[in-house]
């Protein structure tokens, strides 16, 4: 796990708290492994927002420390303790993997360190483990998958197989889908799983061909999602058994999946062609900065910076007035590329969940699968 420090690219003097030391933001993200692109896009998205503000938020200069968490839960506590202890960061932004995020949430609670989760969906983070200094600018695993149950039932599917990695995100996303699908009247006939981050899908794909369900619901992401969608098509199953999933199955992955992704339908809190001016401006700025097409991960990083900006604006850059900053963040209404985003009492976004279909090399909006979907925050006592 490597560490690097860098000040934001540009900064201009501002009247408010220009006298103070820069606010130290610790990025704890996967910069290697199957989720490497996801981590990089979150980092790029966050920095883009800060650069657009001239390098300061609420008049406070921002500097960054990075740690590569490698999506490894077993080293997560040490990595987080290093940022909070030796690196003395003012807040942590991370991460992608739900298991790593759970360890981060525990340290954040024990050390009272503010944490913004820019991806990981672990339901507990904004459920039983919720706290006033813990936020998420992404989703809960429940939130993006439960609405797919009704969508697939309404499409005429009755018997569905679910497939995923066997870890918190895979378990919680397929459970949430099952909850929605069963409630609508459908049946999950089998759940197939393999250890994270393995990509030997062949035996499971053969099993799907044998079971012949009406459709499949999958959660994979990053490099694993690229390979699953390609293997599914190579087996010819995309012609006979429609593939659905959480939107991560096709987000940021289509350049590598190519035509094999065509027709895959997913639910997510974003679609590439959302017709709002914030999304259009974001996508063109992200392209100008990185040369790449933005995706949900870049949006979630961008919005993490937008959320921090709300806190720093409320205190004119003074992070020692933390209670006031955190309260302003909880009350924030952010005009995100995804559409309007506010926060529930547990710090999880309240947001629309879209049904998308891969067409023309992108995730195109089909319909709204859930309007202003709010995670129930089961077990949260704040």
Residues that bind ligand PHB (CB under 6 A): 35, 38, 96-98, 119-121, 169, 221, 248
> Shortest Cβ distance from residue 36 to ligand PHB (Å)?
12
The CA distance from 90 to 316, in Å, is 16
> Shortest Cβ distance from residue 288 to ligand PHB (Å)?
25
> Shortest Cβ distance from residue 252 to ligand PHB (Å)?
9
Structure tokens at 287: 């392209």
> Shortest Cβ distance from residue 45 to ligand PHB (Å)?
14
> Shortest Cβ distance from residue 51 to ligand PHB (Å)?
25
**Residue 96 or 326 with smaller CB distance to ligand PHB:** 96
**Residue 56 or 98 with smaller CB distance to ligand PHB:** 98
> Shortest Cβ distance from residue 96 to ligand PHB (Å)?
5
**Residue 71 or 344 with smaller CB distance to ligand PHB:** 71
> Shortest Cβ distance from residue 248 to ligand PHB (Å)?
3
Structure tokens at 315: 């205190």
**Residue 96 or 305 with smaller CB distance to ligand PHB:** 96
115 contacts 369 by C-beta, under 8 angstroms: no
73 contacts 103 by C-beta, under 8 angstroms: yes
3-state secondary structure string across the chain: CCEEEEECCCCCCCCCCCCCCCEEEEEEECCCCCCHHHHHHHHHHHHHHHHHCCCEECCEEEEEEEEECCCCHHHHHHHHHHHHCCCCCCEEECCCCHHHHHHHHHHHHHHCCCEEECCCCCHHHHCCCCCCCEEECCCCHHHHHHHHHHHHHHCCCCEEEEEEECCHHHHHHHHHHHHHHHHHCCEEEEEEEECCCCCCCHHHHHHHHHHCCCEEEEECCHHHHHHHHHHHHHCCHHHHCCEEEEHHHCCCCHHHHHHHHCCCEEEECCCCCCCCHHHHHHHHHHHHHHCCCCCHHHHHHHHHHHHHHHHHHHCCCCCCCHHHHHHHHHCCCEEECCEEEEECCCCCEEEEEEEEEEECCEEEEEEEEEEEECCCCCCCCC
> Shortest Cβ distance from residue 109 to ligand PHB (Å)?
19
> Shortest Cβ distance from residue 34 to ligand PHB (Å)?
9
């Amino acid at each position: 796990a490597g560490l690097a420090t860098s000040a934001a690219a540009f900064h201009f003097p501002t009247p408010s708290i220009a006298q103070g030391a820069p606010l130290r933001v610790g990025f704890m993200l996967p910069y290697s492994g199957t989720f490497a692109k996801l981590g990089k896009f979150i980092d790029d998205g966050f920095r883009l927002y800060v650069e657009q503000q001239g390098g300061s938020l609420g008049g406070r200069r921002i500097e960054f420390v990075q740690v590569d968490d490698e999506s490894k839960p077993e080293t997560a506590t040490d990595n987080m303790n290093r940022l909070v202890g030796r690196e003395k960061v003012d807040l942590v932004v991370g991460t992608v993997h739900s298991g790593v995020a759970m360890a981060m949430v525990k340290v954040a609670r024990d050390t009272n360190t503010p944490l913004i989760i820019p991806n990981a969906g672990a339901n507990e983070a904004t459920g039983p483990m919720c706290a006033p200094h813990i936020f998420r600018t992404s989703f809960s695993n429940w939130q993006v998958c439960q609405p797919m149950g009704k969508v697939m039932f309404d499409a005429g599917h009755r018997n569905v197989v679910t497939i995923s990695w066997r870890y918190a995100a895979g378990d919680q996303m397929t459970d949430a889908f099952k909850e929605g699908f069963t409630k609508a009247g459908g049946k999950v006939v089998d759940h197939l799983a393999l250890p994270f981050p393995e990509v030997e899908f062949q035996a499971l794909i053969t099993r799907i061909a044998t079971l012949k369900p009406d459709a499949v619901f999958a959660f994979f992401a990053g490099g694993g999602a690229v390979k699953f969608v390609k293997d599914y098509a190579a087996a010819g199953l995309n012609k006979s058994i429609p593939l659905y999933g959480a939107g991560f199955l096709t987000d940021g992955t289509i350049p590598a999946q190519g035509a094999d992704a065509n027709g895959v339908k997913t639910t997510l809190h974003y679609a590439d062609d959302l017709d709002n001016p914030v999304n259009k401006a974001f996508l063109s700025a992200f392209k100008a900065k990185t040369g790449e097409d933005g995706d949900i991960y870049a949006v979630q990083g961008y919005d993490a910076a937008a959320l921090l900006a709300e806190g720093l604006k409320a205190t004119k850059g003074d992070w020692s007035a933390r209670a006031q900053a955190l309260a302003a963040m909880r009350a924030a209404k952010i005009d995100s590329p995804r559409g309007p985003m506010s926060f529930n009492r547990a710090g999880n976004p309240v947001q629309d969940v879209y049904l998308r279909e891969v067409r023309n090399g992108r995730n195109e909006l089909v319909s709204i699968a859930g309007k202003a979907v709010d995670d129930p925050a089961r077990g949260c006592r704040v």
